[in-house]
Structure 1
Amino acid sequence: MKRIMLPLFVTVLSLGTATAQETPGFNKWSIDINGGISKPTTPLTTGYYTKDYNLFHADLGVRYMFNNKFGLKVDVGYDQFENASKSASFDGKYYRTDIQGVVNLGRVLNFEEWTQRLNVQAHTGIGYAFMTNDRFEGTDNMLNHIIGLTGQVKLSERIALNADFSMINNVRQSNTFDGGIAPEDRGFNGTLYNATIGLSIYLGKNAKHADWYYEESKVDKLAELEKRVGDLETMMNDSDKDGVPDYLDAEPNSIPGVAVDTKGRTIDRNNNGIPDELESYLERNYGGSGNSGAGLSNETIKDMINQGYVNVYFDFNSTQPSSSSVSGLDFLAKFLKANPSAKAEVIGYADEIGNTDYNKDLSHRRAQTVKTILAKSGIEASRMTIVGNGEDNSVAKDSKVARQMVRRVTFRVK
């Protein structure tokens, strides 16, 4: 039997070395070291008993995983047992070597969907064993079959704590565990239990071992799908209701009802800062001549500014104007340059999310930022005063789109 097991062990090692590069996603080799207690149960001679917990048991195994679910293990084990206090005296030792198949139940049962630190493996196999005892000469040679469960706790990507419980059944055991003559039975006539704790040490250059490696699970895929749907819904938002989704909208805060181009920008052919549609409305209702807007009076433009048609908008908790607000800044700057005696109040607002005092300060800082930008564009700072009006609660607090409308700076021209 020794002649069979040694070449088989070498064959397993050779197979692992030859195929180690086939699946680069995880490591395949590990060394399993365990120690604990053993308990022989049958056969025992009448009047002979072993201790309930015999110290000690030790085993050493080399494991190779073909994939993250199935593998092969070669191990050796040693058990020592002696008589209980009320038994006749004996001292026995048991040695074995086995080749076992391993099933990584944690991956088979998708443990990764609820834990990534706990695992369970099942193992079973056959091997050769022999026993010695102070009550007989020589060795008792036998075959064995082993089956067990191993629980694992991952300590790191290189090491795991394990606890194993195994049952070993011997075939053709000639002597009892106490050293007597076993009953004439050439089948499974000997049983031994092991309970151990130990370590699995992982070998290889990859980040994970097969014990803990898993491909993207159904849960992960569902979460990713939900995120994609959410991102798509966000992309399709149309904050200013101009028919152009926000992700394509160059001006996501354009005036409602005003015509826009395919990029969501208000149409302003004469580049005077007033959307053409709004300009036509003002000319019809407030007078003026021509199509360029040149006939609009200063009072008309001032009214338009003071009624809130010109605003600078901000992202959540930001003091920097959004890129779509450049036209509002440009419009006011042009008006103030054309009217050197005019002065303006720069009035900041915030939405209702967050602390009221903080929002008051945020609105003031937004107004200060706009004033600084206008000053750098050529408007004297002395012509502008800033006001932080704090929270604007005129829109629904639970509406993300509505809150975008009140995160703004508006103006009052004098």
Structure 2
Amino acid sequence: MLNNLKEEKGIFWTVPAALVLNLVFGIQGWTSIGLAFTFFYILQVIRKMGHTIPIIDLMTALAALQWIVGPYIDYHNDVNHYKYFMYVPEEVYMPFVVPALIAFRLGTLFFKDYSDLENIGQRVNQLINKYPKLPYILVVAGLLIPYLNSFIPPALRFVFFLLSNIKYVGVIYLLFSGKPNRWPVFMGVMSVTALGSIASGMFHDLLLWAMLTFTFVARELKLTMGRKILVSILAVFMAMTIQSVKHEYRSIIHAGYGGNKVALFTGLAMDNWSTGRIVNPTNEEEMNARLNQGWIISAVMKHMPHYEPYAGGSTIIEGLEAALLPRFLAPNKKKAGGRENFMKYTGLQLGDNTSMGISLAGEGYANYGAYGGVLFMFCWGLFIGWFWQKLFTFTAIYPTLMIWSPILFLQVIKAETEFVVVLNHLIKASVLVFGLLWGIRRQWGVRI
């Protein structure tokens, strides 16, 4: 851990930065620490892009934005929504969430990060030189799999959803290979993802894979820190554009719109830019729902233990059961979705077709209270750090395994999901990926 802290020595600058925020701007103690911590990890993610696979830093930065920055903005503006607001005061909320997130990151630092892209690049080049068609097979297979969805039993759709993501692994291999057609293939795959997101009105895959593949793009283009910051700013504007448009866009397409959806989406985006609604939204719900997931955690803090006793680890046990046991051994095991936990531990109602997660921090508090919740987040950090380091040990068998890691963490990096979702995805995605790589090696002798 000490070596990792030395590598992350910039984190110590969060202390004087927090003091400046406190003394100059009057931002209270835990809030100032949280904002400084967030700024540090945003810069850390940008700095590491192109050099490592900064999945744990990305997890930390996304959680900090949604649990700290979003709530801070909400505490300090005049917008009051009937539901999406902070249910407990800032001086109650921040002393739990900020230590919880710091505890998570400290837990991960007990294990070393081996995701150096230069090392990985050498392994990829050896693989592609030996099997030059492999990236194209992965891309084509990943593009075709979604068309089988209507023929797949519901119980297997999650498996095929994961398999469809191998197209991104294929384009990452191509980016490392230096082949002249790597950029057209990469842009083609990302364009298909964008068109699919627009067609469905669901933009998670586009945003997540844009973030997860950027580190490989930055390496190939040899982007400087300044250019990576510029791209990050452009990405923020893209995300803001999607957030400002998607509510109205979904309402239109769900009402039976039969026209060109790309033209509709583009028109709404241009209209929002021309009217300034992207940076100055008029809809209260739109403003509150963009960034702040802390309102859910605050609702848990208000509701428990006054109206509902602490769960005492019951949801954690349910999550472990759901992830580790097949359904024939545990027919009543919990399903992913979050709806039941949300209503039970926040005391708030959801529509019949609405599902929300209380997040890992919210679940830690719901089970163990403030102090126990911080300890839970530390233990989760230990597990994530151990798992990330363990992946590297398997590269002795599967040399380019780290390239597949974004599939394993696709749902794990999202700050709004709860324990059963993230652990279920991590375990099942790992079983699928290792099974796939084992099968390919056994059948064709390809050590991916």
What TM-score range do you get, normalising by the shorter chain? under 0.3
Q: TM-score, normalised by structure 1?
A: 0.18
> Higher strand share goes to which structure?
1
Greater Rg by CA? 1
Q: TM-score, normalised by structure 2?
A: 0.17
- Structure showing greater relative contact order (alpha-carbon pairs closer than 8 Å, 6 or more residues apart): 2
